[in-house]
Amino acid sequence: NHRLAWPEEHHAFDNCEVGAGMCCWVDQREGYDDQAANADVCYVDMKASRHSAHVKNGYSIYQGDTQAYCKAWAWKPTGGTVSGAHRGNALFKTAFIDGLQGSGSVEQLPGAPLCGCMDRMPVVTAADCVKVTDAGGKVVVSHEPSQGKAYINAAYIEGSGITIDNSCNFLSEFEALNGDDAHLMHFVNSRVVGDGKCSEATANFLDTKGLKI
């Protein structure tokens, strides 16, 4: 029940400036209750996930013909939020406690990481939500009198009551944290595109390659 570090040294998580992470699984181990898919897969951009794909460039188009189970969580990239300080807890809870241990979820989509910063993950129609709260936390505030400014450093939040909420809506949660950043909102909405929108998302992606469908 303490803060877990975000694995910034790993290629799937480093320089994660979009304020969102996600895990997507396509299979389960035997002996677990069935985890129904919650998302259609639109495409995988292997240039964005080249270290996982082991190729410099490429893409796979699924057009919604393949399903996955995805979960995502959000934070404010500029810092100062509990969700940002505890994004490592959200990752651990999602990938290991709920995913591997809880439901036996395994196997990522080819060319993509199993979990990662959202800009390296497949483009999908939906994702369940993970939200971190810390009722017993405290924040260290530093003050620079010469500049008349105070700084909240969420990296020093100490949690005694960390909880994970799986009932939130991911896009709503992301908007609550980052709705003032139109660029981030547009980007995340282009990654979790909504039901029935795979064709549009894929067409927009292929258009950047000079291709039509």
* DSSP-derived secondary structure for 127-175: -EEEEEEETT-EEEEEEETTTTEEEEEEEEEE-SSEEEE-SSBHHHHHH
pLDDT of residue 158 exceeding 50, the answer is no
What pTM does this model have?
Answer: 0.84
pLDDT score at 86: 87
Give the residue with greater pLDDT, 160 vs 84: 84
Question: What number is the average pLDDT over the span 133-147?
Answer: 60
